[in-house]
Structure 1
């Protein structure tokens, strides 16, 4: 019995060792075959993940000092090329941008065919260029941003009042900034606020948006539920201007982004396309902002001397009133 156990253990160790060697040889051959940039040696299975440490941004900077502004890393079983300088970023994202314009499509983004109408996950081509063009020319132009300046000012004032109301209490920075970013985007798209921090339905909407991309195991099942909730929520908002058009009601002279998208449905977009674009603009304009501001506040609290510098700069440039 003991001999049989030793045989099984020996076979297992041999298999693991063989896999390690094959994985290591395979990585090196792949690197040579694909003519990848230089990078640190990678361990089997984990690749370079152990070298990322607790502060990956600092680890990546340190590695770039040794291997250059363009280096190859193995993140688990995935190969990544890391850009660490503005000059190299310009080469990739401007000079040779079309060569790097493809997207790795996550399985979760195929739910309800979202990727077919997506500006974030659609592959580079005619349709993606149309989405990009209409977003940049009708939503993010200097003229449009200037016209909506009063909305941003009002939203900031409301946010400051909300902060003062919470004086002496804990404040959820991420929730607060989500509310600000979401309403700034919804005003640009629908000409009205869609998020009310005191409304339970708004809280559910935030949770739904946040959960769209987090589904590591039951990818399609759970994500489809959250996607349908977003569709139902937006369909109610889109329905009013649609009904107004069907009844022949005169549109306001100053069209919002939704009006422009609805004008385009005849020849460029379907309602499914519009819904997907609006979902992505709302989520990108709120989740990214709230996460960034929350991270910045954590760093300021952890570094009081930097916090004092920021406060001094605000006082000198903006003033206390």
Structure 2
């Protein structure tokens, strides 16, 4: 699982290297302190948002827990929905209310559309030459247009239905075989979901007829490693003068090793696709993502193509698996809701030999289950961080340029002002509700909002809905022998680029026979 590595961990590692390095570290730290004390201050006339009390040097870093969206909500409840933090040398604005998000989107969206360039993103994504981490501008708009219109459009998503069907059928067969071989054992559903969603994005992106299975496997493994590393906050990210610590701990070397391996594999895949394009004339429905990206009219550089492919792997599989894992966990904790969802799925599928995607359009309650899961457990609880392009006035406060911006979607989607009994899993709240997660209803921003909203919403939802419908249709689910009730399920989280259950979800499948 991915986990954010805060600078403390790297600093501790640096201290343990040798006595010489300890003294060197302390010497350079004194220099840093002197530089910081001479750093230009913000104009006293600025009306800055309120801030918690901070410590010298580290600022508010010590107030962030392993689940920062939890601790940020607690701090915001005391200091306000617009709150300024000092994270090392980085100034960060924390946004925790729909009203503030609305003002950003309606009035200042362009100003808030930049991304901070972390060490990991610069190393792994060709200098932030992708869609997720690139700064707002003409190059970014061109790449996003290709993704929205060509890679992730509703028509393209529909054309990939056969891949989803094949991979989900394989998932169901694996679960069925495991249940028949040992009726008393449970399966690691979390692991199976990650494998399936990885397979789907791999075949959609690379195409199963071009690359070997070995190449698929290696790219999935490296993409997983890149996903974990993209969640790392290095010492240099928070203390630029201490960037050398990241070399000392080996963090930079790890980034470069992952980048080098991925870069070589993507070169191989692109060359293979170009060779196949020269000898075949593919119709549009047979094109995978690489085929589309290497078309001459795409005007993308080779590095731009590779960075977009990595975006697809990182964002396209882990978020989907996370949503499915939380949905199944919540349903197991609520047996009546599980039965209601299964009854609906089986009603509309009937006696057919497989679940068809057209059936899903009628499954209103199952879609409510998915919406409620995404409300309670957004895969990216702080969304992707933003950075202000210039100074701006927000909520009556002055926000300086180059301020890091965290939007706490997790806190907003549990705000009692907008949600009744917000901590409870209640799919029925979405029945006939006009509140949706499409970026317009700002109390529900799982997929972001404005120009930097996630372009892969349609693609991700198609996989979540189809996989969940199959899990509910083909099996009755029981808790493992170690659990007496659904309340025994550990719902604690692990935070990273994507938030998962801390403990993998193990369930006992009982095949449902027609």
TM-score by length of 1: 0.74
Coordinate RMSD, CA, aligned: 3.8
Structure 1 position 261 matched with structure 2 position 308: no
What is residue 277 of structure 2 aligned with on the other side? 245
Q: Which runs of 5+ in 2 are unaligned?
A: 1-25, 180-184, 235-245, 347-471, 474-514
Equivalent residue in structure 2 for 1:171, among 188, 191, 208 = 188
What is the rounded CA distance, in whole Å, between the counterparts of 2:96 and 2:256 in structure 1? 37
What is the rounded CA distance, in whole Å, between the counterparts of 1:194 and 1:61 in structure 2? 47
Structure 1 position 273 matched with structure 2 position 304: yes
Structure 1 position 192 matched with structure 2 position 208: yes
What is the rounded CA distance, in whole Å, between the counterparts of 1:109 and 1:80 in structure 2? 18
Structure 1 position 209 matched with structure 2 position 240: no
What is the rounded CA distance, in whole Å, between the counterparts of 1:64 and 1:200 in structure 2? 48
What is residue 161 of structure 1 aligned with on the other side? 173
1:274, CA displacement in angstroms?
Answer: 1.2
What is the rounded CA distance, in whole Å, between the counterparts of 2:273 and 2:218 in structure 1? 24
Identify if the C-alpha distance between structure 1 residues 102 and 65 changes in structure 2 by more than 3 Å, giving closer, same or farther: same
TM-score by length of 2: 0.49
Structure 1 position 130 matched with structure 2 position 142: yes
Q: Is the 8 A contact 1:183 1:195 kept in 2?
A: no
Q: Is the 8 A contact 2:159 2:285 kept in 1?
A: no
Identify if the C-alpha distance between structure 1 residues 163 and 30 changes in structure 2 by more than 3 Å, giving closer, same or farther: farther
What is residue 417 of structure 2 aligned with on the other side? none
What is the rounded CA distance, in whole Å, between the counterparts of 2:108 and 2:344 in structure 1? 40
Q: CA offsets, 1:182-231, max 9 Å, x none?
A: 232233333438999xx776554444223335275334432222122222
Equivalent residue in structure 1 for 2:153, among 141, 144, 165 = 141
What is the rounded CA distance, in whole Å, between the counterparts of 2:322 and 2:94 in structure 1? 22
What is the rounded CA distance, in whole Å, between the counterparts of 1:286 and 1:125 in structure 2? 27
Matches within 5 A, 1:66-85: 66-85=78-97
Q: What SS does the aligned partner of 1:275 have?
A: helix
Q: Is the 8 A contact 1:183 1:194 kept in 2?
A: no
Q: Which runs of 5+ in 1 are unaligned?
A: 1-11
Identify if the C-alpha distance between structure 1 residues 31 and 139 changes in structure 2 by more than 3 Å, giving closer, same or farther: farther
What is the rounded CA distance, in whole Å, between the counterparts of 2:211 and 2:290 in structure 1? 17
What is the rounded CA distance, in whole Å, between the counterparts of 2:319 and 2:203 in structure 1? 18
What is residue 38 of structure 1 aligned with on the other side? 50
Matches within 5 A, 1:214-229: 214=229, 216=234, 217=246, 218-229=250-261
What is residue 314 of structure 2 aligned with on the other side? 283
Q: Is the 8 A contact 1:103 1:123 kept in 2?
A: yes
Whose helix fraction is larger, Structure 1's or Structure 2's? Answer: 1
Identify if the C-alpha distance between structure 1 residues 222 and 63 changes in structure 2 by more than 3 Å, giving closer, same or farther: closer
Q: Is the 8 A contact 2:117 2:128 kept in 1?
A: no
Q: Is the 8 A contact 1:103 1:121 kept in 2?
A: yes
Q: What SS does the aligned partner of 1:186 have?
A: helix
1:89, CA displacement in angstroms?
Answer: 1.8
Q: Is the 8 A contact 1:115 1:121 kept in 2?
A: no
How many aligned residue pairs are there?
294
Whose strand fraction is larger, Structure 1's or Structure 2's? Answer: 2
What is residue 338 of structure 2 aligned with on the other side? 311
Q: What SS does the aligned partner of 1:104 have?
A: coil
Matches within 5 A, 1:52-91: 52-53=64-65, 55-91=67-103
